[in-house]
Structure 1
Amino acid sequence: MSTPDKQRIFSISTPADFNHMALQIFQYQAKNCEVYHQFISGLKIDASKINTVEQIPFLPIEFFKSHRVLSSYAHVELTFTSSGTTGVTTSSHYVTDKTWYEYSFNDAFKLFYGDIRDYTVLALLPSYLEREGSSLIYMVQHLIKESQNPDSGFFLYNHDELYHQLKKQQQANKPTILIGVTFGLLDFMENYQINFPELIIMETGGMKGRRKEMIREELHAVLCSGFGVKAIHSEYGMTELLSQAYSTGDGIFVCPPWMKIMIRDTNDPMSALPNGKTGGINVIDLANINSCSFIATQDLGKTYPNDSFEVLGRFDQSDIRGCNLLIA
């Protein structure tokens, strides 16, 4: 089969549309992604007999650290890499057509927030700016450019400049989004406080070893107090994906129509769990057409009846044994 086109994927509007496209993409990747093909074969699964989304096997995300996960022989345009401490193997996501990523984050942003040109986009992402290969930086750079707003931009450690820009936005009554890594937002708050109720704070997670980890409720309470907002927005994405889910508060995320979260049993990774049960997060990302759209992450979470989901933490090394059994 040929590669499904962007128009069909990014115009998905019903669960039936999603399931149909997911099965079509599964068959394509089971044949064309060598790593995924070998993984499926190792599980003694006949890909041709998969006829429901629930039967699709999910590739453990660790494969992105050790293999080139590709479903295309086209030239690699971009390579996104995950962050990691010295000595830790990082993930690489090889992207053969960057327009899939651009369509995905542009359409998702519009779906959740409207026209990017209505906003000033400010970014406090020091740890990401200080390395190459960040998919988050690529996305935010494009959003800043597409906002067509001269006040949009990145801030490294120039907190004084960011504070004055926020005050300027507030006084001008301009819709503003501040996208920040968690430790960066907390560092900013150590010296600056602002009461800007209309500001959208979008935290992307991560202390990056800079600060002690905090539970979400505590972190969001601190951020709400420091910026004078009622809720903290969040983005759920990762190097290995080309789509993002968004939360507008309380840590409850919603996916765009071409992305879906499923929960697997931590003791039996081939078994799915119902809504409300905590387990490992599996992601179907149909924008990942040229790598693998079916990924078993190391995150723990639960889904809810309205297709929203919550991220509750990560597997520790002992918990990952189920995934490791699959890799073996």
Structure 2
Amino acid sequence: MKQFETHRIFNIEKANEFNDLALDVFRFQFENNVVYQDFCQHLKKGPETVSHYLDIPFLPISFFKTHRVLSTQKEVETIFTSSGTTQSKTSKHLVPDIKLYENSFLRAFEYFYEAPEEICILALLPSYLEREGSSLIYMVDYLIKKSNHPDSGFYLHNLDELHRKLLDLKQKNTKTLLIGVSFALLDLAEQFPMKLNNTTVMETGGMKGRRKELIREELHHILTQGLGVDRIHSEYGMTELLSQAYSKGNGIFQTPPWMKIITRDTEDPLSIQAYGKTGGINVIDLANVYSCSFIATQDLGKTHANGSFEVLGRFDDSDIRGCNLMVL
């Protein structure tokens, strides 16, 4: 079975290159992914009828709960799973090439920030650490090891120790990234208010049932006040993807060159929504070449003409999980 030339994914420089590569990925997945091919054929879509990435069908994300979504016969190296609830099935993302994931998240991190070797990375992700199969934990653990800073590491419930570490790094004027799940960052901000002028605070994930959901503006206001930073950064990713988008404030996300966000009318799953209008979020993640690169998520958001986007909530009938969940 022919494998895809994955090096092409991370060398996109122009809009037409994205379109050409997206069409190549679509053809590859249509030919090699039985689940996706059946879905496309049901919609009467195929390589002969698709000439632009906007015409490509987006597979509902729920398929990752019920099917093996694979576009290769390579042996699966890793399986990432969603958190989910006891009442719902969890998503399973079968990953045949873990190096592809590492390449994707490392390049995206360096694209928006800097090489992890340049910073100290502290992770406050208790809900993710307490279960197996988290793609977020895999990514952050890799970045922590890559940072090679003696103070980089994970924190579970030891907020007092984290507080002391942050103040020590501040005194040393060490460039620091604190990435945390929303409820844990709120606990830290409320129990140990401080002013961090050398630290980037990045939230990911919602309250995970630990606290009442807040709209983004309220959450970020509490965190900026309690942690003494000008703005809160955010990460947007999910179990079913191999790439992430980042926001450096105000909930406005940007994607790396191999990822794109489109919105659809919530009443018409095959539509393309205009810029600035709220709709369901569709994700193109070309790094997902060995599963499915075209996914219709259960998130709500809006896109902007410059390629940025916002995440505004989730569909009412979906289970509450995933990254950067701020339910209105």
TM-score of the aligned structures, taking structure 2 as reference length? 0.95
Match of 1:284, SS state, is: strand
In 1, distance between residues paired with 2:140 and 2:227?
Answer: 21
Cα separation, 2, equivalents of 1:179 and 1:300: 23
Distance between the aligned counterparts of 2:290 and 2:121, measured in 1? 30
Structure 2 residue aligned with 1:289: 289
| Residue of structure 2 equivalent to 1:219 | 219
For 1:311, the aligned partner's letter is V
Distance in 1 of aligned mates of 2:200 and 2:5 = 33
Distance 2:278 2:3 in 1: 34
Give the secondary-structure state (helix, strand or coil) at the position aligned to 1:24: helix
1:41 deviates by 1.3
Aligned to 1:99: 99
Q: CA deviation at 1:6?
A: 2.8
CA distance in 1, matches of 2:76, 2:46: 29
CA-atom RMSD in angstroms = 1.1
TM-superposed deviation, 1:190: 2.8
Q: Alpha-carbon deviations, 1:138-174, whole Å to 9, x = none? A: 0000000000111000000011110111011100001
Look up the equivalent residue of 1:109 and give its one-letter code: F
SS in 2 for 1:48: coil
Report Cα offsets for 1:9-56 as digits up to 9, x if no partner. Answer: 101111111111000000000110111011011112233221111110
Q: Aligned partners of 1:46 and 1:156: how far apart in 2?
A: 47
> Which stretch shifts more, 84-93 or 23-32?
84-93
Give 1:267 deviation, angstroms.
1.1
Question: Structure 1: which 5+ residue stretches go unaligned?
Answer: 319-328
Q: Hey, what does 2:252 align to over in structure 1?
A: 252
**For 1:214, what is the secondary structure of its paired residue?**
coil
2:219 alignment partner AA: L
1:197–1:227 Cα contact (<8 Å) kept: no
SS of equivalent residue, structure 1 residue 217:
helix
One-letter amino acid of the structure 2 residue matched with residue 177 of structure 1: L
* 1:189 Cα offset (Å): 2.2
2:298 corresponds to: 298
Is the Cα–Cα contact under 8 Å of residues 40 and 47 in structure 1 kept in the other structure? Answer: no
**Local SS of the residue matching 2:287:** coil
2:65: which partner in 1? Answer: 65
Contact 2:3 2:72 in 1 (8 A): no
Amino acid at match of 1:14: K
TM-score under structure 1 normalisation? 0.95
Aligned amino acid, residue 78 of structure 1: T
**One-letter code of the match for 2:41?**
S
CA distance in 2, matches of 1:46, 1:173: 55
Q: Which residue of 2 aligns with 1:128?
A: 128
1:224-249 Cα distance to aligned partner (Å, 9 max, x none): 00100000000000000000000000
Aligned to 2:156: 156
| Stretch of structure 1 that moved more, 291-300 or 35-44 | 35-44
Helix, strand or coil at the partner of 2:246:
strand
Q: Deviations over 1:97-135 (max 9, x none)?
A: 001100000000101011111100000000000000000
Aligned partner of 1:173 in structure 2 is 173
> Which residue in the other structure is 2:14 paired with?
14
Kindly state the Cα deviation for residue 316 of structure 1 after the two structures are TM-superposed.
1.0
CA distance in structure 2 between the partners assigned to 1:137 and 1:265 by the alignment: 33
* Structure 2 residue aligned with 1:44: 44
Distance 1:122 1:264 in 2: 36
For the Cα contact (< 8 Å) 1:27–1:48, is it kept in 2?
no
Residue in 2 that maps onto 1:209? 209
Give 1:252 shift: 0.2
Q: Give the C-alpha shift of residue 182 in structure 1.
A: 0.4
Residue 110 (structure 2) pairs with residue 110 (structure 1): yes
Please report how far the alpha carbon of residue 197 of structure 1 lies from its aligned counterpart in structure 2 after TM superposition.
2.3
Structure 2 distance, partners of 1:241, 1:310, is: 18
2:322 is matched with none
How far the C-alpha of 1:3 sits from its partner, in A, is 3.4
Q: Distance in 2 between matches of 1:49 and 1:310?
A: 31
2:80 corresponds to 1:80: yes
Counterpart for residue 145 of structure 2: 145
Once the two structures are aligned, what percentage of the paired residues are identical?
A: 60
Q: What residue identity is the alignment partner of 1:210? A: R
Tell me the distance in 2 between the aligned counterparts of 1:9 and 1:177: 27
Question: How far apart, in 2, do the equivalents of 1:45 and 1:260 lie?
Answer: 21
For the 8 Å contact 1:179–1:202, the answer to whether it is kept is yes
Displacement of 1:199: 1.1
Cα displacement (A) at 1:306: 0.7
- Amino acid corresponding to residue 39 of structure 1 in structure 2: F
Structure 1 Cα separation of the partners of residues 13 and 100 of structure 2: 18
